[in-house]
Amino acid sequence: MSVGVGIDLVRVSRVAASLAQFGERFLRRVFTEAEIAYATSSPGLTAERLAARFAAKEAAIKALGLADQGVGWRQIEVQRLPSGSCRLVLHGAAHAAAADAGVSELAVSLSHEGDYATAVVLATRHGRETTHA
């Protein structure tokens, strides 16, 4: 068994600027319908919630070693559970690449404070010794 780890830090103000400049085009390119619905359900927290999800997508790409796999942003989805914690759900090419790599479990943690949002992703693999930064 091995574990891939990914971490990312995103400036909330950069996400807010992308929202202001590109609006729906930015949202629909990067986030799933469910992510958009959750993030926009509290207008004062939209940029923070989107920044944390963007960080999670970047961290997942690192943990899974997907940088050169042609995975789209919307193929990595952050879902908020009723408990308040989050989980990652992979779709399409991201799901296939993770399965091919022997990933059996994903864990994600998100946080945001002030102008920063961060995420850490752990990917547990069975039968492969791989590390990613």
pLDDT in tens, 66-99: 888 889 999 999 999 999 999 999 999 999 999 9
Interacting residues of 113 by C-beta distance below 8 A, sequence separation 6+? none
pLDDT one-digit tens code per residue, 38-67: 999 999 999 999 999 999 999 999 999 988
Question: Would you state the structure tokens that stand for residue 16, as one six-digit string?
Answer: 């807010």
CA–CA separation, 119 and 98 (whole Å): 19
CA–CA separation, 117 and 59 (whole Å): 12
pLDDT value, residue 130 = 46
Give me the mean pLDDT over the 96-120 stretch.
95
pLDDT category, 126, cuts 50, 70, 90?
Answer: confident
CATH number for the segment(s) 2-125: 3.90.470.20
Question: Would you state the structure tokens that stand for residue 59, as one six-digit string?
Answer: 């961290």
- How, if at all, do strands 2-11 and 76-80 pair? unpaired
Give me the mean pLDDT over the 105-127 stretch.
94
Is 81 in a helix, a strand, or coil?
coil
Residue in the block written with tokens 């908020």: 80
